[in-house]
Amino acid sequence: MSLAQFVKNQSGLSGINVGYKRGETVLAWAMVSPWIAGFLLLTAFPMIASLALSFFKWDILSPPKWVGLANYVKLFSVDPLPMHALKITVLFSLASIPLNIVFGLAIAMLLNTNIRGLSVFRTIYYLPAILSGVAVAILWQWIFSSDFGLLNTALRVFGVEGPAWLGSKVWVLPAFVIMRLWSVGGGMVIYLAGLQAIPTDLYEAAEIDGANWWQRVFRITLPMLSPTIFFQLITGVIFTMQIFTETFIMTDGGPANSSLFYLLYLYRQAFQNFKMGYASALAWVFFVAILLLTLILFASARFWVYYEAESDEDN
């Protein structure tokens, strides 16, 4: 599936426009003008400017100095930290995104079995998803405390002595993955709505044909949900790769840079060391990395994402 096709599927665009009216066109441009101004001032121009800046050395105070590709050379081969940061950010995302999807789907499927108290369970599971930022980061820092924290206290109930989590080079990334699993309810609500929209006659027909539970899940439920899962995957990549607040508050990148996520490093270069040129190069490499990941996912979609032929119903 191509990007344009995806956009079409997601947006329900269709080419039925015939005969534009002049008054309507003028009003339309007037109404979209705030977005156009914002796009030019806060997106298009800054993108070009940051690309240009990435070829300069600039500390804001003195005039920028042209350095050619030096920032990129430094980024890829001199300074070891950017690629390290990118690596752990990707590793974290590779663990966090699939786990959130699997648990979100599993809970949604449990909730979709005609149980009583559906709305109570849904409220409980969804509640952490509305919370984020500094307060949540501080809470989890306390939960992961090795001696007095909740997690290791709970593990001791089962006779397990937990690791130092945020103080451990090995366990710090799993700790972040666990923390992000707390907000699994955000995706769960979406899957639940998707499940409820699958026509029940599909399952009835499958049951008559003798399909067992696994076959129904893998032949009906997952294919029918695949566009939803795909959308969650795409937004998940963009959102998860941008992890910042948690590491800034909980570990400041430590121990020994083992939770130095990419944006933390970018932030330090730009707003603590004021290396605006270098930070712009970092930003562009990050953008291209996310773009590549997204394009790979789009390329994979035609093998597993199932779109019904008629999806333009909302026009």
Partner 1 sequence: MSSKGVSLSLRQVASKIVVYLMLGFGSIVILLPLQWMISTSLKPLSHVFRFPPEFFPQKIVWSNYPDALTQLPFDLYFRNTVIIVIFCLLGEVIVSSIVAYAFSRLRWRGRNALFIVALATMMLPRQVTLIPEFIIFKELNMIDTFWPLILPSWFGNPFYIFLLRQYFLTHSRELDQAAVIDGCSRFGVFWRITLPMSKPVLAAVAIFSFQFHWNDFFRPLIFLFSEENYTLALGLRFFQGTYGTEWNSLMAVSLVVMLPLIIVFFFAQKHFIQGVVFTGYK
Taking the least distance from each CB to partner 1, the nearer of 173 and 184 is 184
Q: Which of residues 243-302 bind partner 1 (CB under 8 A)?
A: 244-245, 248-249, 263, 266-267, 270-271, 276, 279-280, 283-284, 286-287, 290, 294
Cβ closest to partner 1, residue 172 vs residue 225? 225
* Residue 76 or 244 having the CB closest to partner 1: 244
Stretch that binds partner 1, among 67-75, 84-92, 110-118, 300-308 (CB under 8 A): 110-118
> Is 89 exposed, middle or buried (CB count within 10 Å of its CB: 0-12, 13-18, 19+)?
buried
Q: Does 306 bind partner 1 (CB under 8 A)?
A: no
CA atoms within 13 A on the CB side of 199: 5
- Per CB under 8 A, which of residues 196..225 are in contact with partner 1? 197
Q: Which residues within the stretch 3-22 sit at the binding site for partner 1 (CB under 8 A)?
A: 4, 7, 10-13, 15, 17, 19-21
Q: Which residues pair with 65 in a beta bridge?
A: 57
CB of 41 to partner 1, least distance (A): 7
Instruction: Report, in Å, the least distance between residue 302 CB and partner 1.
Output: 19
H, E, C per residue of the chain: CCHHHHHHHHHCCCCCCCCCCHHHHHHHHHHHHHHHHHHHHHHHHHHHHHHHHCCEECCCCCCCEECCCHHHHHHHHHCCHHHHHHHHHHHHHHHHHHHHHHHHHHHHHHHCCCCCCHHHHHHHHHHHHHCCCHHHHHHHHHHCCCCCCHHHHHHHHCCCCCCCHHHCCCCHHHHHHHHHHCCCHHHHHHHHHHHHCCCHHHHHHHHHCCCCHHHHHHHHHHHHHHHHHHHHHHHHHHHHHCCCHHHHHHCCCCCCCCCCCHHHHHHHHHHHCCCHHHHHHHHHHHHHHHHHHHHHHHHHHHHHCCCCCCCCCCC
Work out which of 59, 76, 87, 153 binds partner 1, going by CB under 8 A. Answer: 153
Q: How many residues bind partner 1 (CB under 8 A)?
A: 106
CB of 150 to partner 1, least distance (A): 4
Instruction: Give the gyration radius of the chain's Cα atoms.
Output: 24
d(CA 39, CA 47): 10
Stretch that binds partner 1, among 78-86, 142-150, 161-169, 216-224 (CB under 8 A): 142-150
- Which range of residues in 65-73, 76-84, 85-93, 109-117 is near partner 1 by CB under 8 A? 109-117
When asked if residue 126 is in the footprint of partner 1 (CB under 8 A), the reply is yes
Give the nearer residue to partner 1 in terms of CB position, either 172 or 240: 240
Distance separating alpha carbons of residues 217 and 110, to the nearest angstrom: 12
Least distance between partner 1 and beta carbon 171 (Å): 18
Q: Which is nearer to partner 1, 123 or 300 (CB)?
A: 123
Residue from the set 5, 32, 73, 292 that interacts with partner 1 by CB under 8 A? 32
Site for partner 1 in 33-92 (CB under 8 A): 34-39, 41-43, 45-47, 49-50, 53, 60
Residues 166-195 contacting partner 1, CB under 8 A? 182, 185-187, 189-190, 193-194
Q: Which is nearer to partner 1, 125 or 176 (CB)?
A: 125
